[in-house]
Amino acid sequence: MDLVIVSGLSGSGKSIALETLEDCGYYCIDNFPIAVFAAFVRGAMQESPQAYRKVAISIDARSRCNSLQQFPSTLELAAQLGINCQVLFLRARMESLLQRFSETRRKHPLTDNHHSLTEAIERENQLLIPIASRADLVIDTSHTNIHQLRELIRERVGAQREYRMSVYCLSFGYRNGIPFDADFTFDVRCLPNPHWDLALRPKTGRDPEVRAFLESKPEVQRYLDDLTHFMRSWAPRFAAENRSYLTIAIGCTGGQHRSVYLTEALAERLASDDYDLLVRHRDLR
Read off the pLDDT of residues 76-91 as tens digits, 9 standing for 90 and up: 988 898 888 999 999 9
pLDDT by residue for the chain (285 residues), tens only, comes to: 889 999 999 999 999 999 999 998 899 999 888 888 888 888 888 877 677 889 999 998 877 667 788 888 888 988 898 888 999 999 999 999 999 988 877 888 888 888 788 999 999 999 999 999 999 999 999 999 999 999 999 888 876 555 578 899 999 999 999 998 899 999 999 999 999 999 999 999 999 999 999 999 999 999 999 999 999 999 999 888 878 889 999 999 999 999 999 999 999 999 988 888 999 999 997
pLDDT number for residue 159? 63
Helix (H) or strand (E) holding 85: strand 84-91
Structural domains in the chain, sorted by start: 2-158 (3.40.50.300), 166-281 (no CATH)
188 with 259: CB under 8 angstroms? Answer: yes
Q: Which of 147, 135, 215, 142 is nearest to 172 (CA)?
A: 142
pLDDT number for residue 233? 94
CA distance 17 to 6: 8
Cα-based distances in Å from 62 to 8, 54, 67, 78, 225: 11, 24, 10, 22, 48
pLDDT number for residue 38? 86
CA distance 128 to 71: 10
Per-residue pLDDT reduced to its tens digit, 243-276:
888 999 999 999 999 999 999 999 999 998 888 8
CA distance 124 to 133: 14
Residue 10 exposed, middle or buried by CB count within 10 Å (0-12, 13-18, 19+): buried
pTM of the predicted model as reported, rounded to 2 decimal places: 0.80
CA distance 273 to 275: 6
pLDDT number for residue 42? 85
Strand order, beta sheet including 27-29: 27-29, 54-58, 2-8, 84-91, 137-140
